[in-house]
Amino acid sequence: MSAALRVGIAGLGTVGAEVVRLIATEARTLAARCGRPIRVTAVTARSKAKKRGVDLAGIAWAKSPVELASDPEIDCLVELIGGAGDPALSAIETALKSGKSVVTANKALIAKHGLRLAQMAEKHGGALNFEAAVGAAIPIIKTLREGLAATGVNRVYGILNGTCNYILTRMEQEGLSFAECLKDAQRLGYAEADPSFDVDGHDTAQKLAILASLAFGTKVAESAVHVEGISSIAPEDLRAAADLGYRVKLLGVAVRTAKGIEQRVHPTMVPKSSSIAQVMGVTNAVTIDGEGIPPITLVGPGAGGAATASAVVADIADIARGVRVDPFGRPVDRLRTTEKAPMERHEGGYYIRLMARDHAGTAATIATRLAEQKISIESIVQRHPNGGIDAGQPEGKGSPVPVLLITYATHEDAVHRALQAVQRDKVISGRPQVIRIEKN
Amino acid sequence: MSAALRVGIAGLGTVGAEVVRLIATEARTLAARCGRPIRVTAVTARSKAKKRGVDLAGIAWAKSPVELASDPEIDCLVELIGGAGDPALSAIETALKSGKSVVTANKALIAKHGLRLAQMAEKHGGALNFEAAVGAAIPIIKTLREGLAATGVNRVYGILNGTCNYILTRMEQEGLSFAECLKDAQRLGYAEADPSFDVDGHDTAQKLAILASLAFGTKVAESAVHVEGISSIAPEDLRAAADLGYRVKLLGVAVRTAKGIEQRVHPTMVPKSSSIAQVMGVTNAVTIDGEGIPPITLVGPGAGGAATASAVVADIADIARGVRVDPFGRPVDRLRTTEKAPMERHEGGYYIRLMARDHAGTAATIATRLAEQKISIESIVQRHPNGGIDAGQPEGKGSPVPVLLITYATHEDAVHRALQAVQRDKVISGRPQVIRIEKN
């Protein structure tokens, strides 16, 4: 059996401690699987004194992440500090420049600096693995990087943020508002004190940028992702979705179009019968539409100490086995540049919710304005005040009544022009709600 | 860039032809991904004259699979002949013995001879990859072999046969009988003229035996799998399942128990809300319960030329990249022997359907017999002739009326003893229907 792979771990939070524990308890299995032992030889973290519930006896303590990365007694740096900048970044750079391999769960850092780091890894011969950065233990990176080596991807999309899916699930199941569910998510530890990174879609955008690069052979570019969060979603939208055969999910979608790769994160109506619609609570899921084959969907825990550590140790095991795959599936100089696709030219179906001010005739006015923009209507319903729905019959005067529309595929700018006209007609009150539909 | 990986393909059916096509059309992508080109240099098939719609110009034609396997001009044999014996087997042996790598989609051969072939691969240094043998393009082999390197598996289960799932889906959705749906499946090409290999569960058993080996580090042993097919399932069972919150699926289940690994294939009630219950038609799905982490479910096409070819080419790409992972995840001499677990000691919940002869008092008799065996009843319902259900109230005399029971977890032998007693009581007509429940 060959010499042990010597691992240095920077960051000993929940994930780091679990990685230390797994490598120790599964030592025999890992050695059998990899043909050589894996040993944690050095670690570093902010506080040496903190109790972590794992045995660190015999493991050296480095003064800093960069010192750990320069340690000649480690072959592989595991970065679990987090954050897109230093000290995580300089530690990874130090390790890669000395030919060491790196494993990280840091999506922000990979989304921002992944290309430059991948080039360093190529140049100096180390691996750079980041399975845990997207979907934790769901093997989505490996599937795109290795499992679909010869199969062109037409679309990759999914639920990549457990916080948002938890909030949308509770809003749907209990009829609660976004604000109420967010508060609950914070109380239960599913959302941060400052939830904006999650609920505004930025976490999903970083993960999507990484998946899009792997799927389409493009350069990772968070700036090429159109991003909308879930705070505008109302319980009425979730009820309407259910009535119309849909669910609302915050999706990250990267899709090949005639005009290039479109990358977008926004609340999305998905058919209730689709695999992705079944994914509830903090669970994540990704669907891949490969050229000529039916969709493949991977579902599982997108976060959590044990799930993240599982993926980190699998990445370490690949390095121990001698597996070296280009971090983004091909050499960085083969990755193409991708631009942000303007959403005005997005094509798809739309859900539109309007508050009809004057019931009689409003549906007809709306239908006319949509027809002027050559938008075909799949269904139009007017909701009774009691929550039931009905085929857009006028109800007589009274308080505003919601009108719900589902359109066939059209252009987003056509939808905007039609709704501007409807607003000029003064037949609705408030702003129209518009949610894109993603078909499976 | 290194020298090309030279591939020889034995068998040019739908999958073989698609592999030739993919390697040609995706040549640039594959070369970028693997750091070297992949080239088909030789092929063989039964008929040289047959039109296959792919360009074989410049590719040598070998006289036989074994001749192809001995060709010094190939580095990797791709076996797509099928069948557990010769010529597939001898071709693979010939290739492995000369240090070549092998890719195969042949589940029957891997289930029967996989261990011996893996030993040959270990000894002579070639790879033996078979992602396409289970779940086609669903990356289940890679996930168990590499993605969960350090995570113990407690259970792996899934829908591994599209024919059975197609039949059960149509039976459920259209209320048809097994025989009617089978006939339709045959007409549509989803079932063979002799459907027994699929519908009796043997196809699922072979796939399960492979997954169990990878999941638990045990020797592949089809003989250790308890197998039951779906021909006994009646539309009434599917209706009852729906009423009770379940669906019926043919599952392959391998689970770690206190007494060893239990491997079984049988019709199974799964909660309607589970990921696996959502899988309809010919789609396959596998769920993995890893130690300490929520379940991971992979869903996708389990068959089809393009999906199978996609997995085959990904396996070839791994070989081109120089990746060598033990075929069953660890050296063969580290795999433990596993015995067939006697089903009498299986523990779980049960669905029982009985035809009550004398309505008044029958439910009470059944409940008493179950209580004698210490079996707790989760629900008991008596179906009205009109198809509705009702809390087991006697209906008065008449034609037999179904009584449906769901038990809490118990031992299978207790269920058998209780039902034997009920039969001796002569309160039911016909044989009781018993279906095991699998909780998620």
Can you give the pLDDT at residue B359? Answer: 64
User: Searching chain B, which residue's CA lies closest to the CA of residue A292?
Assistant: B306
Contact between B330 and A147 using a beta-carbon 8 Å cutoff: no
Asked if the model's pLDDT at residue A393 lies above 70, the reply is no
User: Considering only CB atoms, which chain B residues are within 8 Å of A149?
Assistant: 29-30, 33-34, 313-314, 317-318
Interface predicted TM-score (ipTM): 0.93
Can you give the pLDDT at residue B408? Answer: 96
Split at pLDDT 50, 70, 90, the class of B385 is low
Can you give the pLDDT at residue A364? Answer: 87
Cα separation, A84 vs A366, in Å, equals 47
Contact between A146 and B318 using a beta-carbon 8 Å cutoff: yes
CA–chain centroid gap for A77, Å, is 25
Summarised one tens digit per residue, pLDDT across range A260-298 is 999 999 999 999 988 899 999 999 999 999 999 999 999
Cα separation, B311 vs B133, in Å, equals 9
Query: What average pLDDT does chain B have?
Result: 93
Q: Name the minimum distance, in Å, from the CA of B400 to any CA of chain A.
A: 37
Can you give the pLDDT at residue B384? Answer: 62
Can you give the pLDDT at residue A398? Answer: 65
Summarised one tens digit per residue, pLDDT across range B283-298 is 999 999 999 999 999 9
Cα separation, A348 vs A358, in Å, equals 29
Summarised one tens digit per residue, pLDDT across range A128-151 is 999 999 999 999 999 999 999 889
Asked if the model's pLDDT at residue A119 lies above 80, the reply is yes
- In a mutational test of the B interface, the residue from A293, A298, A330, A440 whose CB has the highest number of chain B CBs within 10 Å is A293
Contact between A301 and B293 using a beta-carbon 8 Å cutoff: yes
What percent of chain A clears pLDDT 70, i.e. is strictly above it?
96
Asked if the model's pLDDT at residue A218 lies above 90, the reply is yes
Summarised one tens digit per residue, pLDDT across range B347-366 is 999 999 999 886 678 888 99
B5-10 and B76-79 strand pairing: parallel
User: Considering only CB atoms, which chain A residues are within 8 Å of B323?
Assistant: 321, 323, 325
Over the range A390-407, which residues count as b (16 or more CB within 10 Å of their CB) and which as e?
eebeebeeeebbbbbbbb
Span B152-177, mean pLDDT? 96
Q: Which of A150, A310, A331 sits opposite B310 (nearest CB)?
A: A150
User: Considering only CB atoms, which chain A residues are within 8 Å of B151?
Assistant: 22, 137, 310, 313-314
Span B420-433, mean pLDDT? 92
Q: Which of A26, A278, A304 sits opposite B150 (nearest CB)?
A: A26
Q: Which of A275, A290, A318 sits opposite B310 (nearest CB)?
A: A290
Cα separation, B380 vs B273, in Å, equals 21
User: Considering only CB atoms, which chain A residues are within 8 Å of B307?
Assistant: 293-294
Q: Which residue do the tokens 């004190």 mark?
A: A193
Q: Name the minimum distance, in Å, from the CA of B407 to any CA of chain A.
A: 27
Q: Name the minimum distance, in Å, from the CA of B434 to any CA of chain A.
A: 29
A260-271 and A246-257 strand pairing: antiparallel
Q: Name the minimum distance, in Å, from the CA of B328 to any CA of chain A.
A: 9
Task: Delineate the domains of chain A, giving CATH numbers in brackets.
Answer: 5-137+307-334 (3.40.50.720), 140-301 (3.30.360.10), 345-437 (3.30.70.260)
Summarised one tens digit per residue, pLDDT across range B120-145 is 999 999 999 999 999 999 999 999 99
Asked if the model's pLDDT at residue A157 lies above 90, the reply is yes
- In a mutational test of the A interface, the residue from B14, B26, B29, B312 whose CB has the highest number of chain A CBs within 10 Å is B29
Sign of CA dihedral B245, B251, B254, B258: positive
Q: Which of A34, A278, A307 sits opposite B278 (nearest CB)?
A: A278
Cα separation, B144 vs B138, in Å, equals 12
User: Considering only CB atoms, which chain A residues are within 8 Å of B127?
Assistant: none
Taking each helix axis from N to C end, the angle separating A412-424 and A359-372, rounded to the nearest 10 degrees, works out to 140
Q: Name the minimum distance, in Å, from the CA of B283 to any CA of chain A.
A: 9
Query: What average pLDDT does chain A have?
Result: 93
Cα separation, B326 vs B125, in Å, equals 10
User: Considering only CB atoms, which chain A residues are within 8 Å of B321?
Assistant: 323-325
- B240 with B404: CB under 8 angstroms? yes
Can you give the pLDDT at residue B290? Answer: 95
Q: Is A23 exposed, middle or buried (CB count within 10 Å of its CB: 0-12, 13-18, 19+)?
A: buried
Summarised one tens digit per residue, pLDDT across range A188-209 is 988 888 999 999 999 999 999 9
User: Considering only CB atoms, which chain A residues are within 8 Å of B319?
Assistant: none
Q: Name the minimum distance, in Å, from the CA of A185 to any CA of chain B.
A: 19
Contact between A314 and B150 using a beta-carbon 8 Å cutoff: yes
- B320 with B36: CB under 8 angstroms? yes
Q: Which of B300, B323, B326 sits opposite A296 (nearest CB)?
A: B300
Summarised one tens digit per residue, pLDDT across range B200-227 is 999 999 999 999 999 999 999 999 999 9
Asked if the model's pLDDT at residue B394 lies above 80, the reply is no
Which residue in the list B100, B112, B207, B249 is annotated as catalytic? B207
Summarised one tens digit per residue, pLDDT across range B26-66 is 999 999 999 999 999 999 999 988 998 899 999 999 999 99
Asked if the model's pLDDT at residue A395 lies above 50, the reply is no
Closest CA relative to residue B287, chosen from B257, B313, B252, B317: B252
List, as one string, the DSSP characters of A326-387.
Answer: -TTSS-GGGPBP-PPPPGGG-EEEEEEEEEESSHHHHHHHHHHHHHHTTPPEEEEEEE-TTS
User: Searching chain B, which residue's CA lies closest to the CA of residue A20?
Assistant: B150
- A319 with A103: CB under 8 angstroms? yes
Split at pLDDT 50, 70, 90, the class of A385 is low
Span B257-281, mean pLDDT? 93
Closest CA relative to residue B266, chosen from B278, B287, B280, B249: B249
Can you give the pLDDT at residue A79? Answer: 98
Can you give the pLDDT at residue A1? Answer: 63
Asked if the model's pLDDT at residue A388 lies above 50, the reply is no
- B49 with B339: CB under 8 angstroms? no
Which residue in the list A107, A112, A207, A249 is annotated as catalytic? A207
Can you give the pLDDT at residue B388? Answer: 47
What percent of chain B clears pLDDT 90, i.e. is strictly above it?
85
What percent of chain A clears pLDDT 90, i.e. is strictly above it?
85
List, as one string, the DSSP characters of B1-49.
Answer: --PPEEEEEE--SHHHHHHHHHHHHTHHHHHHHHSS-EEEEEEE-S-SS
Q: Which of A35, A142, A296 sits opposite B146 (nearest CB)?
A: A142
A428-437 and A347-356 strand pairing: antiparallel
Contact between B300 and A297 using a beta-carbon 8 Å cutoff: yes
Residue B207 annotated as catalytic: yes
User: Considering only CB atoms, which chain A residues are within 8 Å of B23?
Assistant: 150
